[in-house]
Amino acid sequence: MPSAFAGTTTTTLSPATVAAGKAYATELLSEQPVPSGATPVSHFSTPLALQSQEAFLVGNQIISRRYSIPASIGIEQFVRGHLRKGEAVVGTGTGGGPNEGTVHSVSVSLPCVSRHVTYCALQYDTTTTPGGREELLIALQIDWVPIAIVKMPTTGVVTVTGYDKASAAFGSSDPVSVVLTNQQTLKLSRVIATLKESGEGLCAEDAILLKISITSPSTKAVTWRAVGDDCPGALAISASGTHVALDDHSCTLWWLVSSFFPAGKADATKSQAKSCDD
């Protein structure tokens, strides 16, 4: 199961935040469908690949459920037939290893709308036991962080830069810059204030899609800046010696940014708005 987890631990989260995240994840996992005839078990008789991997990450805690199910149940068919609103199967696979049973996996994306959640996904793993039944692991992965509300200043000269071309392999090129009106500035500030903190993550390749800079009208010095990238999808903000990364996977953000540029300009940046579906 891929992770956007960026290293949050119990030393960087308050006990109240950890408890709230655990409660949210526990409730979310309890709402997921379980095949008829499933019997909860405390451990598996057959080593199951992935069962030792962390599934729910708030600090160092893990949440998953283990079951014994009839071998007649096809887990992929079951999951596809019991998807809830907003859920989608995003991958299937088969794997295993030395001294491990063959594992069949189904990965599901979830519509986790909480501003605390920077990433969430669900995975169903099954393997057949010597006794003829199957063992099922349902694992929820969720990255939960405190809410960070960032207010972009609305005074000064606000310049937004987009790009005509961008690729993860070759970066961005052909920048296009526009100076925002006061009305546009107020709208952008309100949208940025709604963004969640980013879980960040690591990407081998990346491309810059957006730059925002605010300069003082008198000194011309940059007082606030933000850079939005394609992967992992973070809006990195720097101001007054402080730094914060927000999750830029927001259709509202890209729809607004797209409206700033003239037709035929900043096409790579505008493509983020075109691909949005929420």
Question: What pLDDT digit, counting tens, does each position of 208-220 carry?
Answer: 999 999 999 999 9
Burial letters for 30-64: b for 16+ Cβ neighbours within 10 Å, e otherwise? eebebbeebeeeeebebbbbbbeeebbbbbebebb
According to DSSP, the β-strands at 134-144 and 157-167 are unpaired
Q: Residue 196 — pLDDT band, cuts 50, 70, 90? A: confident
Q: Does 57 have pLDDT greater than 80?
A: no
Q: Which two tokens stand for residue 100?
A: 């491990």
Note the pLDDT of residue 261.
96
By percentage, how much of the chain surpasses pLDDT 70? 85
Region for 152 from its dihedrals, namely left if φ exceeds 0, alpha if ψ lies in -120 to 50, beta otherwise: beta
**SS3 at position 236:** strand
Pick the more confident residue, 162 or 205. 162
Q: Does 1 have pLDDT greater than 60?
A: no
User: How do residues 118-128 score in pLDDT, each as one tens digit?
Assistant: 778 888 998 88
Burial letters for 175-186: b for 16+ Cβ neighbours within 10 Å, e otherwise? ebebebeeebbe
Whether 156 and 223 have beta carbons less than 8 Å apart is answered as yes
Note the pLDDT of residue 254.
95
Note the pLDDT of residue 128.
84
Note the pLDDT of residue 62.
57
Note the pLDDT of residue 5.
30
- Intra-chain end-to-end CA distance of the chain, in Å: 24
Contacts of 275 (CB under 8 A, 6+ apart): none
Q: Which two tokens stand for residue 26?
A: 């526990």
Q: What is the residue-averaged pLDDT of the chain?
A: 83
Backbone torsions φ then ψ of 155, nearest 5 degrees: -115, 155
Note the pLDDT of residue 147.
79
Note the pLDDT of residue 88.
92
pTM of the complete model: 0.65
Angle, helix 267-274 to helix 251-260, in steps of 10 degrees: 140
Q: Does 10 have pLDDT greater than 60?
A: no
Q: Does 146 have pLDDT greater than 70?
A: yes
Note the pLDDT of residue 48.
58
Q: In the chain, where do the E strands start and end?
A: 39-40, 64-69, 88-95, 103-109, 117-128, 134-144, 157-167, 171-179, 208-215, 222-229, 234-239, 242-247
Query: For the chain, where do the domains classified as CATH 3.40.1000 start and end?
Result: 15-144
CATH topology assigned to domain 15-144: Protein Transport Mog1p; Chain A (3.40.1000)
Distance between CA atoms of residues 230 and 226, nearest Å: 14
Contacts of 69 (CB under 8 A, 6+ apart): 35, 37, 38, 39, 126, 133, 134, 135, 136
Lowest pLDDT segment from 64-73, 137-146, 231-240, 264-273: 137-146
Per the listing, tokens 């969640």 go with: 196
User: How do residues 92-113 score in pLDDT, each as one tens digit?
Assistant: 988 776 666 688 889 999 888 7
Side chain identity, residue 266: A
Note the pLDDT of residue 210.
96
User: How do residues 14-48 score in pLDDT, each as one tens digit?
Assistant: 778 878 888 888 888 898 989 988 999 888 876 65
Side chain identity, residue 250: S
